[in-house]
């Protein structure tokens, strides 16, 4: 239930300095700027709900929070973006916040002693064997440090194994049997890691799904995932306490769902897990790629798939226990789960994890965390680098030191050559080397990574003559200063043991600098989609897997040009949505990253119409802080 009482009843006693009237005025002014020319705006009270009453979407909420911080001179807690439901909640967040710039500087954490490094579990055939190897070698070494509102929760290998055993015993006591599926719907939290491994330890199969953004969304969010849970045949859902309120309703919609529990409830059941036989070809992960809309599509990945991918990526980047990986990536997504966590788990490097909301609320915190922990590796989609460029002030660069960083991977969505260049140039003043910016490419069907660049080079950008490429798919080099050139960034070469090819519509392999469909094969490749033989059959072509992306090869590198289904064909010319969206986003008055371009069949002309949807920036004040980046999520993922 949402508060309906008067403002004085809705709030606890305010601390000195709390300014309810000022906050109400600020919210009203933000609404006016976000909706210029609106005949009538909703009334703003402390009880007003940000989404239903004021109709503020995620970007508008972020815009409002930034203004609140500036107006009141406070840094809001990280959970304010997701937890604030009403204007009263924002006032409480102001009261809980600390003055901007007053965060206590902490010394960097101690690095592990060189004498504790013992190589990697090269003979392990499952993730459980990986964990057991590390527990034998160095149970007291910290594997994960979870950052929560300035606090650091270290988790050692030994503690991780103990947490997993407690979850496994709890699941078995509920009757979960080997090879049954268990869904995880948790935010980034210390319990996530033990829950995932505990499901494996019980012999079951983890199915990560994304958690609700705010408490008020839990019922709608959980029920929207009914089709996914039903397709996965989940027998249990491990989630947050609030979701248990809709357990009975969800169980009525999902045949076979026997339990909706929290990690704490599983651990509280006690006991010791019975050993479960787990082999390398057993399923270790089902990654759903199409969310909760349409027909759910679960990519089946075995322990062997994951370990092949992790080992190949580790070889490509020369990963070692000396590395420190800093990540805000969601753990329900393969780039965060496999690329960041399971890769770190295998190699034996430390992983520092922060909430995605912490990054979105304050992108600078990501880079500051890299500095403080001596981070050497990190990864993010392209929009995150754009968000840093827009939301980090020049003044902050003076105190930012990124010399420890040796690779920042850019993947999970289309990589912009302009973003790579501008990020490299701007943060060079902080000691970031140009060769640290590393565009990569992958997809869930390849576990996570497929193409990685060689170490020690700046990302190559290929300028192409527009006409031959748009009309004939020929990637002919253009002059570097040609303002009309198309530009694509090289994403590297196939991982060791993997192959790629580029084919035409008939499946014939194409030569250098000719665009076609990208296909791959190798030990990381999925066996198919869970309970979907039709889509599985469409995925494979003569033993090769179709990525659904278009690309061309040049000088050993693969250049990704766009999704097959996204490219607009108008008058025989291929138009690339990302390029148009980027150009429209640079138009004065348009929100950069809030543009969508697509094609629509036009029967009158026999070709496609080009449709552009763009969100206008309401005014200069709103434009100063930019936007939250793209919400549109591509299937492409990379570690």
| pLDDT tens sequence across 535-589 | 999 999 999 999 999 999 999 999 999 987 655 544 444 555 655 655 566 576 6
187 and 83 inside one domain? no
28 and 95 inside one domain? yes
Task: Among 73-77, 314-318, 350-354, name the one with the lowest average pLDDT.
Answer: 73-77
Q: Is it the case that residue 422 has pLDDT exceeding 80?
A: yes
182 and 289 inside one domain? yes
Q: Is it the case that residue 292 has pLDDT exceeding 90?
A: no
**Domain for residue 65, yes or no?**
yes
- Tell me the average pLDDT across 47-76: 81
3-state helix vs strand vs coil in the chain, percent to 5: 35, 25, 40
- Tell me the average pLDDT across 350-373: 93
**Domain for residue 507, yes or no?**
no
Q: Is it the case that residue 104 has pLDDT exceeding 60?
A: no
CA angle, 578 as apex, 575 and 581 as ends, to 5°? 95
Q: How distant, in Å, are the alpha carbons of 182, 246, 259, 271, 287 from that of 237?
A: 6, 12, 6, 20, 15
164 and 271 inside one domain? yes
Q: Is it the case that residue 69 has pLDDT exceeding 90?
A: no
As given in the structure block, the two tokens for residue 602 are 């036009």
**Domain for residue 404, yes or no?**
no
CA angle, 544 as apex, 542 and 548 as ends, to 5°? 120
pLDDT digits (tens, 9 = 90+) for 496-505: 999 999 999 9
**Domain for residue 435, yes or no?**
no
Q: Is it the case that residue 6 has pLDDT exceeding 90?
A: no
300 and 163 inside one domain? yes
Q: Considering 305, 336, 363, which residue would you say is the last residue of a domain?
A: 305
49 and 165 inside one domain? no
% of the chain exceeding 90 in pLDDT: 58
**Domain for residue 480, yes or no?**
no
**Domain for residue 516, yes or no?**
no
196 and 271 inside one domain? yes
What domain range includes position 283?
157-305
68 and 183 inside one domain? no
193 and 93 inside one domain? no
Q: What is the CATH number of the domain that holds 62?
A: 1.10.1200.10
pLDDT digits (tens, 9 = 90+) for 466-479: 999 989 999 999 99
Residues 6+ apart with CB under 8 A from 591: 59, 585, 614, 615, 616, 617, 626, 627
**In 10 A of CB 351, how many CB atoms?**
24
- Residue 17: the pLDDT is 45
- Residue 596: the pLDDT is 63
Q: Is it the case that residue 8 has pLDDT exceeding 70?
A: no
**Domain for residue 2, yes or no?**
no
- Tell me the average pLDDT across 442-450: 96
SS3 380: strand
pLDDT confidence of 30, banded at 50, 70, 90? confident
Most confident option among 231-235, 294-298, 570-574 = 231-235
pLDDT confidence of 453, banded at 50, 70, 90? very high
- Residue 144: the pLDDT is 96
- Tell me the average pLDDT across 211-220: 73
Task: Among 38-52, 275-289, 301-315, 571-585, name the one with the lowest average pLDDT.
Answer: 571-585
Taking the C-alpha atoms of residue 301 and residue 441, their distance in angstroms, rounded to an integer, is 18
Exposure b/e, 169-198, CB count within 10 A at least 16 = b: bbbbebebeeebbbbbbbbbbbbbbbbbbb
Query: What's the number of domains the chain is made of?
Result: 3
% of the chain exceeding 70 in pLDDT: 80
Q: Considering 65, 99, 133, which residue would you say is the last residue of a domain?
A: 99
Q: Considering 282, 305, 328, which residue would you say is the last residue of a domain?
A: 305
- Residue 92: the pLDDT is 85
**Domain for residue 615, yes or no?**
yes
pLDDT confidence of 110, banded at 50, 70, 90? low
212 and 292 inside one domain? yes
Q: Is it the case that residue 218 has pLDDT exceeding 70?
A: yes
């Amino acid at each position: 239930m949402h508060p309906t009482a008067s403002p004085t009843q809705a709030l606890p006693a305010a601390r000195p300095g709390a300014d309810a009237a000022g906050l109400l005025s600020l919210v009203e002014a933000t609404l006016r700027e976000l909706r210029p020319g609106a005949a009538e705006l909703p009334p703003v009270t402390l009880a007003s709900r940000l989404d239903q009453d004021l109709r503020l979407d995620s970007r508008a909420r972020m815009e409002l929070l930034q203004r609140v911080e500036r107006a009141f001179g406070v840094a809001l807690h990280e959970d304010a973006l997701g937890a604030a439901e009403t204007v009263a909640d924002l006032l409480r967040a102001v009261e809980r916040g600390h003055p901007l710039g007053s965060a206590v500087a902490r010394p960097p954490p101690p690095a592990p002693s060189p004498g504790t490094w013992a190589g990697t579990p090269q003979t392990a055939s499952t993730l459980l064997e990986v964990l057991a190897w590390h527990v034998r070698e160095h149970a007291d070494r910290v594997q994960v440090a979870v950052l929560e509102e300035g606090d650091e929760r270290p988790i050692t290998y030994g503690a991780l194994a103990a947490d997993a055993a407690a979850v496994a015993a709890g699941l078995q006591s509920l009757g979960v049997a080997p090879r049954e599926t268990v869904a995880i719907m948790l935010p980034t939290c210390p319990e996530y890691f033990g829950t995932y491994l505990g499901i494996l330890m019980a012999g079951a199969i983890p199915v990560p799904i994304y958690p609700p953004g705010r408490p008020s969304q839990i019922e709608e969010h959980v029920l929207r995932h009914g089709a996914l849970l039903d397709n996965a045949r989940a027998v249990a859902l491990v989630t947050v306490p609030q979701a248990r309120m809709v357990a009975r309703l969800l169980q009525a919609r999902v045949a076979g769902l026997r339990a909706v529990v929290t990690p704490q409830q599983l651990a509280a059941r006690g006991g010791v897990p019975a050993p479960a036989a787990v082999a390398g070809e057993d399923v270790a992960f089902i990654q759903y790629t199409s969310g909760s809309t349409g027909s759910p599509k679960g990519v089946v990945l075995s322990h062997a798939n994951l370990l092949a991918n992790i080992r190949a990526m580790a070889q490509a980047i020369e990963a070692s226990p000396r590395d420190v990986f800093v990540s805000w990536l969601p753990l329900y997504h393969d780039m965060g789960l496999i690329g960041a966590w399971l890769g770190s788990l295998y190699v034996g490097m430390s992983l520092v994890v922060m909430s995605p909301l912490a990054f979105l609320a304050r992108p600078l915190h990501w880079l500051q965390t890299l500095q403080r922990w001596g981070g050497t590796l990190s990864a993010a989609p392209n929009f995150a680098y754009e968000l840093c460029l827009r939301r980090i002030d020049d003044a902050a660069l003076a105190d930012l030191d990124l010399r420890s960083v040796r690779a920042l991977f850019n993947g999970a969505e289309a990589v912009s050559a302009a973003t790579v260049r501008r990020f490299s140039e701007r943060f060079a003043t902080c000691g970031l080397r140009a060769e640290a910016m590393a565009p990569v490419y992958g997809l869930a069907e390849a576990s996570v990574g497929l193409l990685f660049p060689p170490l020690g080079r700046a990302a190559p950008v290929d300028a192409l003559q527009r006409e031959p490429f748009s009309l004939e798919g020929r990637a002919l080099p253009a002059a570097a200063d040609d303002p009309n050139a198309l530009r694509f960034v090289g994403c590297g070469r196939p991982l060791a043991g993997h192959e790629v090819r580029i084919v035409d519509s008939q499946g014939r392999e194409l030569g250098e600098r000719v665009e076609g469909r990208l296909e791959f094969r190798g030990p990381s490749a999925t066996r198919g989609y869970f309970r979907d033989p039709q889509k599985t059959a469409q995925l494979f072509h003569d033993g090769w897997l179709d990525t659904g992306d278009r690309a061309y090869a040049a000088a050993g590198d693969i250049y990704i040009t766009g999704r097959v289904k996204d490219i607009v064909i108008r008058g025989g010319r291929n138009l690339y949505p990302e390029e148009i969206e980027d150009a429209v986003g640079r138009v004065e008055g348009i929100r950069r990253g809030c543009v969508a371009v697509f094609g629509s069949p036009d029967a009158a002309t026999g070709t496609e119409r080009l449709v552009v949807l763009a969100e206008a920036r309401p005014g200069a004040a709103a434009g100063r802080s930019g936007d939250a980046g793209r919400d549109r999520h591509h299937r492409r993922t990379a570690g």
